Amino acid sequence: MNIYLDNCSTTKPREEVIEEIIYALREEYGNPSSLHKMGFNVEKKIEEIRNNIASFLEVNKDEIYFTSGGTESNNMAIQSIINKHNRIGKHIITTKIEHPSVLNVLKDYEEKGYDITYLKVNDKGLISLDQLKRSIREDTILIAIMHVNNEIGAIQPIWEIKKVLKGKNSRALIHVDGVQGFGKVHIDPKGWGVDTYSFSGHKIHGPKGIGGLYINKEIKLNPIIFGGNQERGFRSGTENVPGIMGLGKAVEIMEKNFEKEQNQVNGIKSYFIKRLGEEIDHIHINSPMNHKSSPYILNVSFEYVRGEVLLHYLEDKGIYVSTSSACSSRGTEKSHVLLALGLSNRMIEGAIRFCFSYENTKEDIDYTIEILKKSVEEIRQITMR
């Protein structure tokens, strides 16, 4: 029996997605840039998928660019914005809890002389709009803030950022890392005044190695990857046709089932929290406990327990979870997100991230709680001697 509760790291591809990828590999292998019919047919399919994704985001299809995933999308957006607007200023605003694909590229620019303001968050991972307003300067060129945090699920008020900018700085651009929000919570990039927005296929039961970037057509960014001028010259390189078709199928199914699956997962998360509180003591829920949190993510600290030890106890029983972002969890450093919340070392060391999907059932949760309770008790008997 395998129970997969690590859906923030990656998701299991839907069967329809797998079938679409296999079909693409077998039948749609023409190069979209070729002038013959096979190339034209593939190009037509890509544009149909681009249009469907744009429709879901309520943006123009010419504002959607395909990439290799969230990390590339974040890097492309940030570097392109900075490279184009560095004559205006060298001040950038972000938060202390961004994904490494945002923080590390900004650290590189910081070493090059750029001034980076790292907004603090409260004990549930939410920024202060007042602090954001105070941080905006005339030379601010970029505000990079994620929509949904990948470790604790906190939903930032992205819809308020443009309002805060008004009257303070009309030239600063807004980049949103939307990887954990795309297809899971409500998004409206154009309505919210977002200039660039990243998303990834493997977080929505699509394939790995494919993602996308929304770029508001009004801002005219320059490319950082050069070659054969694919993706209207912004992201050169032969298109990943199987990946794009797999992503397209994942988005198609996700859009059709969006509300139903969100409600289902919300119910599973609520049931998990209820059972957790009933069965295990000395726990601390690090995620927000209201509408300011993604229904798909729950971060919990178990006192007197090392998270990595608990992870392997659960793994032995077929339950798969994580301790932090899978993109950086192989390192030995403590979670920068949990540190930013002000948690003690003991709470950080005992943190486990549970990430749910439409495939999880109440029976899964009952079994998980049963094994969690036994595992925590056994570990505490050793550590509390």
* CA distance linking residue 385 with residue 383, whole number of Å: 6
Which segments of 28-96 does DSSP mark as H helices, in order? Answer: 37-57, 70-85
* CA distance linking residue 285 with residue 300, whole number of Å: 4
Catalytic: which of 22, 25, 327, 382? 327
Choose among 106, 108, 170, 165: nearest CA to 135. Answer: 165
Residues 6+ apart with CB under 8 A from 176: 144, 145, 146, 147, 158, 189, 194, 196, 197, 198
Backbone angles phi, psi at 295, to 5 degrees: -65, -15
Angle at CA of residue 96, ends 88 and 155, nearest 5°: 100
- Is there a catalytic annotation at residue 8? no
Task: Please report, for residues 6, 58, 198, 337, 362, the alpha-carbon distance to residue 352 in angstroms, rounded to integers and kept in the order given.
Answer: 10, 35, 26, 13, 19
For the annotated catalytic residues, the residue numbers are 327
